[in-house]
Structure 1
Amino acid sequence: MRAKRLQQPVVSLGSFPSAMANCVLPAFRSCAEYSVKVRLFETSPHEGCELVRNEILDAAVSLKDAVQTNEDGLHWLPLQHDPFVLVGPSGLLSSTARSRGASALSSLPWILPCAGSDCDRLISGHMARHGVRARPAGRTDDWSLAQEMAAALNAVAYIPSSVLRNECGLARVVDLAGIPNPFRTVVLVTRRPEEHKQWFSDMSRRFKQAYARTAGEAYSS
């Protein structure tokens, strides 16, 4: 008599798009066998946390800023420290290189995230803390498109180092005019990790390895 084959556990996982492309999918492509069957959904960082909190998703790749500090029901592990880089046409950046302070960045045309999005909250909060009043030349939450828009519209943008594109021909600067660049911490979020310890720790390890392989490099122009 044949032994019954154990049914593979199913894990519902959410992820925001850039993490999906640079972490989640590469991790699964590089793994021939996995201990669980994964169902994958695109979610924003805050949406992913909310769906995990409501037990609609088992886990989500999110941002540390999206996890409430007083949250009792969520557990998270860091996957990647992802600093932003200021990108723009070399002539535009070089014209501002000798200036100092918030007014130098406020004078530039910016490609910004869509108003009210998770990306916008992160960048607008950073700018507000440093007194920068950005003038939008365009808005998008697509980091690849933001770089193309910066090149086409002679504008600047903050881009996570993990999604930098060389083909856009943009110069890259860290801490222009003495204003530090923002950063984000990518995390894997779940509830009651003690119930899912094996797959959660295995998944976080594979995601960290994937980020190490695919992350872009931040460097000054």
Structure 2
Amino acid sequence: MIDVQRLRVLRAVADHGSFSKAATALRLTPSAVSQHVAVLERSLGAQVVARSTRGVTLTQAGQIMVGAAESVAAELAQAKQQVERLSTGRVQFTVATFTSGGRQLLPGALPRFMAAHPGTLFHVREGEPEVALPLVRQGAVDLALAYRFDGPLPVGPGPSPGLHWTALLEDPLHVVVPEGHRLADRDSLDLAELASEPWVLGCLKTEAYLRRYAERAGFAPEVRGTTTDYFFARSLVAAGMGITLVPSVALAPTVPGLHAVPIEPPTPTRHIGVATLGRRRDHPHLTTFIQALREQARQQRDAGAAPAPPPPFEAMLQS
């Protein structure tokens, strides 16, 4: 019989990359963590982690067991919700979301959801995709409103059991410049025209994305500052510190004295969608809330917040 606590320890080791960091997170000693892993390996007859001076990494057997650990955690979380429902008569529904997407999409979607499921205990947890998506895998939240730039979803460390992804919006990035800037009145611009400009950005991932696109345009951007808030970054632009790159849905609320100019193709774009556990995607609360988010996203597109995306896609994301 595999001990659930040892699976929990292994998952923490996978998330943190070392016994000592996992021990801190679990409030155990590194020795206790090592012993839990060793006992698990003996019970399986296989090595689950590879140890080195740089930390530990999962073996193939370890990846399988961490996937099982996340499935067990998700099932236990759902069972707990069902028991709570028996005692309270109310359903708890939890959504994780990144800040700008939550601000633009959740307030409009929530009334539609609550009208269909009155009495539901609704909770929101703020978090970037690399934090929110593992919460979905673990059953800690019912769904995540998330985004990705070009490439796969940032599912976080460790293996990724099947997540179901429903596309909502394509969210192109705009260059934001101060009033009176030489490009402020343009209908669109080529990123290469900004080669000599200083930048201040509202997200570390946006900086990496800008550098990738700037390299294609033949220049290396001078980044003078990176914040964790697009509004703060735009405020610095208004103060004359430089220019910035902001997704469409993060352009509200407006900052006086600034202009947002679209970028000519190839346009840097965020892809916004919903991630759920594949095996739960037909749950009535999930389907209602996803439909409410789709309706709100459609309103955003119709209002000009973002151009219409290609036909919606839904795909299983496997490790």
Normalising by structure 1, report the TM-score: 0.77
Percent of counterpart pairs with the same letter? 22
Q: Distance in 1 between matches of 2:184 and 2:174?
A: 17
Residue 43 (str. 1) matches residue 152 (str. 2)? no
Residue 54 of structure 1: aligned partner: 138
Q: Distance in 2 between matches of 1:191 and 1:158?
A: 32
Superposition pairs of residues 68-217 of structure 1, within 5 angstroms? 71-94=160-183, 102=192, 104-114=193-203, 117-165=204-252, 166-175=254-263, 180-194=266-280, 196-214=282-300, 217=305
**Which of 77, 85, 107 matches 1:25?**
107
Matched residue SS, 1:12: strand
Structure 2: give runs of 5+ residues left out of the alignment: 1-85, 308-319
Which structure has the higher relative contact order (CA within 8 Å, separation 6+)?
A: 1
Structure 1: give runs of 5+ residues left out of the alignment: none
Contact 2:168 2:293 in 1 (8 A): yes
Amino acid of the residue matched to residue 113 of structure 1?
Answer: G
Residue 11 (str. 1) matches residue 93 (str. 2)? yes
Taking a change above 3 Å as real, the CA distance of residues 100 and 77 of structure 1, as seen in their structure-2 partners, is closer
Q: Distance in 2 between matches of 1:201 and 1:64?
A: 22
Normalising by structure 2, report the TM-score: 0.56
Render the CA deviation track for 1:143-196: whole Å, top value 9, x for unaligned.
122222111125211111122244422122223xx6643111111001124464
Instruction: Give 1:29 deviation, angstroms.
Output: 4.3
Render the CA deviation track for 1:92-151: whole Å, top value 9, x for unaligned.
243897x9663x32210111134xx34444444333443442212322121122222111
Cα root mean square deviation, aligned: 3.3
Alignment coverage as a number of residue pairs? 211
Amino acid of the residue matched to residue 235 of structure 2?
Answer: E
Matched residue SS, 2:169: strand
The higher radius of gyration belongs to 2
Q: Distance in 1 between matches of 2:110 and 2:185?
A: 43
Contact 1:83 1:160 in 2 (8 A): yes
Structure having the higher helix fraction is 2
Taking a change above 3 Å as real, the CA distance of residues 214 and 148 of structure 1, as seen in their structure-2 partners, is farther
